[in-house]
Amino acid sequence: IKLKNAVFQIIDKDGKEVGKLTTDENGKTTSELLLLGKYTIKEIKAPEGYMLLKDPIEVEVSSPLQKITVENTKNGWNIPHTGGIGTTLFYLIGMIIMVAALVVFFRKRVTNK
């Protein structure tokens, strides 16, 4: 999935911000020309529905053209499906108890009249 509007900060080896990048509708961005050396790329704004990257990305610029691929994680918990029945059984038992309570309520109401 190509993520639009992710914002990244480029930080040089001295900890100074040397640029910001925002991804386009294709999930791509291009930086200004950087000097050769080591940089840190930190995501500072994730697209809606996605989490910020947990750790910054360390890169070394060793040529005029370099490609970096970043994978983002969706927000929320991803609960694994383990083959269990989950909450279905609890909903079913709850419904049975509610129906039984209604039956008892209406029977008592009819016998009291």
pLDDT at 89 over 90: no
Cα angle 36-37-42, degrees, rounded to a multiple of 5: 115
Cα(7)–Cα(72) distance, integer angstroms: 12
Q: pLDDT above 90 covers what percent of the chain?
A: 36
Q: Are residues 61 and 14 in the same domain?
A: yes
Question: Helices (H), strands (E): how many in the chain?
Answer: 1, 6
Q: Are residues 13 and 40 in the same domain?
A: yes
Q: Are residues 37 and 90 in the same domain?
A: no
pLDDT at 113 over 90: no
| Count: domains in the chain | 2
Does residue 2 lie within any of the structural domains?
no
Quickly state the pLDDT bin for 51 (edges 50, 70, 90).
confident
Q: What is the pLDDT of residue 80?
A: 65
Comparing C-alpha atoms, which of 73, 57, 60, 64 is closest to residue 31?
Answer: 64
| Structural domain that includes position 105 | 84-113
pLDDT at 1 over 70: no
